[in-house]
Structures are given as C-alpha cells and as structure tokens.
C-alpha cells in the first residue's frame, strides 16, 4: 500500500472504511455496554466511530488507537474530554494505562491480523467477560464472482457461520452478527469520491494511480455488494 498517497486521498475524511453510527449503537446494545464503560477503538482511523461510542457509554471513556496517527494523536480529540487518541499498535493494547477494556470496537481494521490471530490478540486487552465488536470481510453467497473475490484481494472470504465459528474457537461467545449495511459503505465512499474529484487536476503519477485505485474500489463495491462485504460480529470473551 502506498500509504503516502492513500492519506492524501483520505486526509480529514470522516472515515477510512465503511461504517455508520447505527452499527456502533447496534453492537453496544447487544453487548450491554455499561454507561461508564472503558472502550478502545482499535484501528480507529480518523475516529469516525468515537462520537457514537461515547454516546453508547455516556459516562465512559474511549481510547482511539491507530498506528498512523503520528505525533498529533492527542490533538485529534481535544474537544472530547472523555476520549483520547494514541499513536500505537493495536497488538499492544494491553500495555495502555486504560486496559483492560470493557469493549474493543474495531471497524475494518482487524483483518490486518486475520481471523486466526485478531480475536486472540484482542482478548489479551479485554476484561473477563469483555466484548469484542469488529467487522470482517465476508462472503454472502456460496460462489462469489471473480470480481467479488478480487474485491478483498487474497483475503480468505468466509460465510457468516464460518466467521462466527472461528471467533468461538478463539474463546468467545458470539452474541450476534449482521451485515454492514450499504449506508455504511456509502458513508465511506461518497466523501472519498468528492475528494477524488477535487484532487484530479494536477495530480502526479503516484497520486493519480491512488485516485484510480480508490475510484475503482467504490465502483467494484457497488457491483459486488450483494456477494461480499463486511460482517459485524459482537462476541463476549468467555
Ligand atoms: C481501513 S482503516 C479503518 C479506519 C476506521 N476504523 C474507520 O472505519 O474509518 C484501517 C485502520 O487500521 C489501522 N491499522 C492497521 N493495522 C494497525 C495496527 N497494527 N495497529 C494500529 N492501527 C492499525 C490503519 O492505520 C488504518 O487507519
């Protein structure tokens, strides 16, 4: 991934992956998140889910962790007294002063570790009985088309049942799953497409390649959205 060009496209956009406040509200209700819960947004990107997480725990705290925050991590949530940003690796959440967490939320980020490793790594930073809620690439049909398979590149695409079984194997009770709705994807792609249109004029070769890649991704998703997408999983550590 050419992260430099990626962040030119995504700079100051509200999201870097699909999702919507309704997803957070659904997951937190299912998890029975307490009003004073200590929550981590693992791989938070710009923090598009932080406000919804704070709303779900009106006396709680949210720590947003992303390896690409850079030095200004703290300034990101300066207006939110109950939230802070940490530039760090989400494989080391257990080292944070707020750990262990009652809820770890991770939208479109845990797949960097994969389904075998991700839930096990997050378990180290959860309270006993804590909840992991994350989105995972998924296939919704038996035989996705080549275009649908290519959408998530080489990532192994599992059915919702297979994903739930893997999460259970990792030591969790699965509380529920649901498909990330189309509105969550549009909340990601529409601002990105407006940015792409702004950046076209004067873009160098590397940026043009990234603009093409991002535009193609949105077009591909709209073509394959009934076949593949993200599954949201909410699971309690046993
Ligand atoms: C596709 S973005 C999703 C961002 C955000 N959750 C959202 O929905 O807008 C994935 C994020 O995970 C972050 N990430 C990937 N691996 C990470 C790691 N090991 N530790 C911390 N952040 C990581 C990336 O920097 C990126 O911001």
Ligand 1 proximity of 181 Cβ (cutoff 6 Å): no
Which helix (H) or strand (E) segment is 147 a member of?
A: helix 146-151
Residue 4: pLDDT band with limits 50, 70, 90:
confident
Report d(CA 1, CA 161) in Å as an integer.
30
Report d(CA 207, CA 52) in Å as an integer.
32
Q: Per the structure, how many domains does the chain have?
A: 1
Distance of CA 38 to the CA centre of its chain: 18
Whether 195 maps to a domain, the answer reads: no
CATH code for position 173: 3.40.50.150
- Spacing, Cα 4 to ligand 1 middle (Å): 15
Amino acid 73: pLDDT: 65
Whether 217 maps to a domain, the answer reads: no
Using one digit for the tens of pLDDT, what is the confidence trace for 129-148? Answer: 999 999 999 999 999 999 99
Domain range for 160 is 20-181+225-237
**pTM summary value:** 0.95
Whether 70 maps to a domain, the answer reads: yes
Ligand 1 proximity of 107 Cβ (cutoff 6 Å): yes
Mutation test residue for ligand 1: of 15, 62, 66, 155, the one with most atoms within 8 Å of CB: 66
Whether 65 maps to a domain, the answer reads: yes
* Token pair belonging to 102: 């009652």
The mean pLDDT value for 38-64 works out to 96
Whether 9 maps to a domain, the answer reads: no
Q: 15-34: b or e for each residue (b if 16 or more CB lie within 10 Å)?
A: bbbbbbbebbebbbebbebe
Report d(CA 238, CA 231) in Å as an integer.
21
Ligand 1 proximity of 3 Cβ (cutoff 6 Å): no
Which helix (H) or strand (E) segment is 237 a member of?
A: strand 228-237
Ligand 1 proximity of 23 Cβ (cutoff 6 Å): no
Whether 105 maps to a domain, the answer reads: yes
Using one digit for the tens of pLDDT, what is the confidence trace for 144-194? Answer: 999 999 999 989 999 999 999 999 999 999 999 999 999 999 999 999 999
- In whole numbers, what is the pLDDT of the chain averaged over residues? 95
Amino acid 167: pLDDT: 98
Residues in the chain: 238
Whether 210 maps to a domain, the answer reads: no
Whether 7 maps to a domain, the answer reads: no
Amino acid 71: pLDDT: 62
| Nearest CA, atom 12, ligand 1 | 43
Judge whether residue 41 has pLDDT over 70: yes
């Amino acid at each position: 991934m050419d992260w430099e060009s990626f962040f030119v496209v995504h700079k100051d956009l509200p999201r870097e992956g699909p999702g919507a406040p309704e997803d957070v509200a659904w997951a937190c209700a299912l998890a029975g998140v307490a009003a004073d819960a200590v929550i981590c947004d693992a791989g938070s990107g710009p923090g598009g889910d932080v406000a919804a997480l704070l709303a779900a725990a009106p006396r709680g705290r949210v720590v947003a962790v992303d390896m690409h925050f850079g030095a200004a991590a703290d300034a990101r949530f300066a207006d939110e007294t109950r939230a802070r940003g940490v530039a760090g690796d989400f494989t080391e959440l257990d080292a944070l002063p707020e750990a262990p967490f009652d809820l770890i939320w991770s939208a479109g980020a845990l797949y960097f570790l994969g389904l075998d490793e991700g839930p096990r790594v997050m378990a180290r930073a959860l309270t006993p009985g804590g909840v992991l809620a994350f989105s995972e690439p998924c296939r919704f049909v038996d035989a996705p088309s080549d275009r649908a398979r290519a959408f998530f590149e080489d990532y192994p695409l599992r059915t919702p049942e297979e994903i739930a079984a893997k999460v259970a194997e990792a030591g969790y009770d699965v509380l529920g799953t649901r498909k990330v709705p189309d509105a969550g994807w549009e909340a990601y792609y529409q601002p990105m497409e407006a940015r792409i249109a702004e950046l076209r004029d004067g873009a160098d070769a590397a940026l043009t390649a990234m603009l093409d890649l991002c535009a193609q991704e949105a077009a591909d998703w709209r073509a394959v959205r009934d076949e593949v997408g993200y599954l949201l999983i909410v699971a309690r550590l046993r």
